[in-house]
Structure 1
Amino acid sequence: MIYHVTTAAEWNAAKANGYYETPSLKDEGFIHCSQENQVAGVLERYFAGKTDLVKLVIDTDKLTSRFVFEWSPSTEDTFPHVYGTINVDAVVDVVAIN
């Protein structure tokens, strides 16, 4: 399992489209994801003060796009990156973040 934090509105739009994508897919070529132990740091760095957030729980066995673990020099850690859209049926749980 890998994880991705987004807004409830963005997830609702993805469900309507049948797939999830982010601006980083166009800008960087992949969607940033996390391992479970990395989610708290991602929330601190990129989502401080934001509300209406959800954590997508993604089953990598169900992904139709390729994912790769890659080194992030800014955090000195390895993160999963999805090289393509995330098919909604690969998301096996959606957890509200308070």
Structure 2
Amino acid sequence: MTLIFKIVPKSLWQEAIGLGVFKGAPVDLQDGFIHFSAEDQVRETAAKHFAGQQELLLAAFDADSFGDKLKWETSRGGALFPHLYAPLDPTTALWVKDLPLSPDGSHDFPELAR
């Protein structure tokens, strides 16, 4: 199993739970796909795109469960990032954990293993 991760504001995730579907954050909707990060990318994603933001969640998914709707595409620095070209059912997350800020302003990541 290949884990991929989505950083998402709590309010947006709670809304998705209520609706039974997550169509993406504003940047996802703008780009036409849901942005994910692999384990070796997610900390840099948090630092680059979510610096200083509070009330975030980190959701883990099995990349294989998305089938051909998930594409690994070149992005930051030429690395391949997972992009989902479909909405997702938020209940398919393997786990969802808080992503709090540390005293130094960086995000305090939980254990990423299942």
TM-score, normalised with respect to structure 1: 0.87
SS in 2 for 1:37: coil
Partner of 1:16: 18
Q: State, as a whole percentage, how many aligned pairs show the same letter.
A: 27
* Runs of 5+ unmatched residues, structure 1: none
Deviations 1:3-36 (A, max 9, x none): 1101111110010011112234432221110001
* Runs of 5+ unmatched residues, structure 2: 101-114
Q: Is the 8 A contact 1:54 1:95 kept in 2?
A: yes
The range that moved more, 60-69 or 78-87, is 60-69
The size of the alignment, in residue pairs, is 97
Say if 2:26 is the partner of 1:27: no
Shift, 1:75, TM fit: 2.7
What RMSD over aligned residues (CA atoms) do the two structures have, in Å? 1.7
Aligned AA for 1:2? I
Distance 1:2 1:37 in 2: 10
TM-score, normalised with respect to structure 2: 0.76
Partner of 1:39: 42
Partner of 1:79: 81
Shift, 1:82, TM fit: 0.3
